Amino acid sequence: MKKMTHLLALLCCLLLVVGLTQPAAAYSNDLIDGWAIKEVTAMADLGLIPQELAGSDLRLPISRRLMCQIAMLSYEKLTGQTVSLPQSHPFTDTTEPAIEKAAAVGLTDGDGDGKFRPNDTLTRQEFFCFVGKFLKVIQFPLTDDLYADLSGFSDTGNIARWAKDYTALCVGTGVVQGTGNGLAPTAKTKAEEAIMMFYRAYQLAVSYWEKNNENNSANGPSNGDSFAQAFPNTSSWAVPEIQAMEQLGLIPSSVKGTSMQGPITRGSMCKMAVSAYRKLSNQPNLQPSQSSPFQDTQDPDIVLAAELKIVNGYTDGTFGPNKSITREEYFKITMCLLSALGYPYQDDQVVNLGEFGDGNSVSNWAKPSARLLISLGLLKGSGGNLNPKTAIVCQEAIALFYRSYQFMSVWDADSQADPRPPVSRQLAEELVDHAMQFEGYPYVYGGQSPSGFDCSGFVWYNYKQFGYSLNRTADRQYSNGTPVRKSELLPGDLVFFTQNGSSISHVGIYVGNNIMLHASTSSTGVILSDLSSSYYLNHYYGAVRIIAT
């Protein structure tokens, strides 16, 4: 009996070994070219190859759907985050979880017409975009020196403009090495190629991620903890903003180690606002000059916030530093911070809070601040609501506050009497007139000429005719101009929209009277749309002005 037990144990061990080595064994020479075996095996060992590809011929083209699965497996393993499904479906032709999660974190925008086309095979330039967006989303430092000169390749002219930056990045980082003397951008990407090249990108990301954690440890705030330990239960959509805020040193120690899904306190919000004020006003050592006006706290950051008129206490003389802060209280604090920094605030009566399902429930004292943040594109609501009375959770407070910080870092109160430079109205109106002639022209994914436009290609083309060289993609075009309030839009301004609340997915040209001109979808082409319609109201991201004097 004892001998039989040993035999059974040995058999179990053998079966376990077979099970563990199955991924590597599944990719034999009759299913994969020899040059790719090493990287494919490494990806399999990391658990980053979809089960559906096990035992498949990897010499065949990979689909967009399976590429999404690889990208999401890599993202979740690297960040330690389990991405939640978005509340609404981003695409009309698929509800596959990996694709919807990839859209939620910014790994894909689909085809720009509301579709993803999951079963289409992936071109090499589309793969380059996956890699570039992956590196961008995990906050890899994309410095200018990483973008290679592509002029040495014979087929550079075949690269679509929307893919050129990502292609240059893939070549510059060594992820892509070309085929012969070309890049074959429009060729289909074999599964083995996609896995091998994405492994290189993943290794770059791992090296940066580990180094970043080491730097955070050396600086002390996280006490050697990983991001997941320092900011537990962070949703994937909030990771980039929280990382950026942490690198700026704007997240108070009182928040670290607490659940990002839990409410933020009034005291912690004060500390974050005061840290931002010190940084933006170049007064890193600023301290209060008065004694505390509150009976229940002597915290110098709270006292300074009161002195700067960023916060107020309750009528009974208390502040309640440990109480959770409601969303409308958050709106007011953010508005008061902008005012303290010199932003010329005016109540924007054009913004109708009634357009939100619960907009009329905002307290009267908070309505001006809500209107301001909406007009600046800093507040977008959730599911068509503002939820003013609910407690704002840590990750949402940090992410929204980062948008406000970015806005104020662009606006310079010392050099501008008005936060937006005057516009050359005649030139801007001429551009709008020029763009209007293309109403009804076709939408073509990646298009940037009258034969067919996508949204950013339409903007890029029209501005080019007037001597402006803009970035090619919508998210990068946002950085080309100066932010403007929604209520102060002028013809020629660019208006931006988001699918997931954090990344830009669409752009149009404002033509006046709350109307924009844009390359919408393959079924509608270039059309005029009303910004007050429910979709564009709920997905509005912000606006920038390009033509200025």
Task: Answer yes or no: are the C-beta atoms of 39 and 195 closer than 8 Å.
Answer: yes
Amino acid at 376: L
Q: Which two tokens stand for residue 97?
A: 């979880």
CA 396 to chain centre: 14
518 is catalytic: yes
89 is catalytic: no
Residue 473 burial (CB count, 10 A): 25
Task: Answer yes or no: are the C-beta atoms of 104 and 52 closer than 8 Å.
Answer: no
270 is catalytic: no
Q: Which residues pair with 516 in a beta bridge?
A: 510, 529
- As a whole number of angstroms, the distance between CA 260 and CA 258 comes to 6
Radius of gyration of the CA atoms of the chain, in A: 26
DSSP string, 55-73: TS-TTSBPBHHHHHHHHHH
- As a whole number of angstroms, the distance between CA 131 and CA 134 comes to 5
Helices assigned H by DSSP within 283-381? 300-307, 327-340, 367-375
Closest CA to 462 of 492, 435, 493, 428: 435
Q: Which two tokens stand for residue 521?
A: 């979808």
- As a whole number of angstroms, the distance between CA 298 and CA 105 comes to 41
| Strand pairing class (540-545; 525-530) | unpaired
- As a whole number of angstroms, the distance between CA 338 and CA 410 comes to 12
Closest CA to 347 of 328, 381, 371: 371
Number of alpha carbons in the 13 Å side-chain half-sphere of residue 481: 31
Q: Which of 170, 270, 394, 518 is catalytic?
A: 518
In angstroms, what CA-CA distances link 465 with 434, 449, 458, 515, 548? Answer: 9, 11, 11, 22, 16
Q: Which two tokens stand for residue 100?
A: 């919807």
Amino acid at 399: A
DSSP string, 214-246: HHHHHHSTTTT--HHHHSTT--GGGHHHHHHHH
Q: Which of 129, 270, 394, 455 is catalytic?
A: 455
Residues annotated as catalytic are: 455, 506, 518
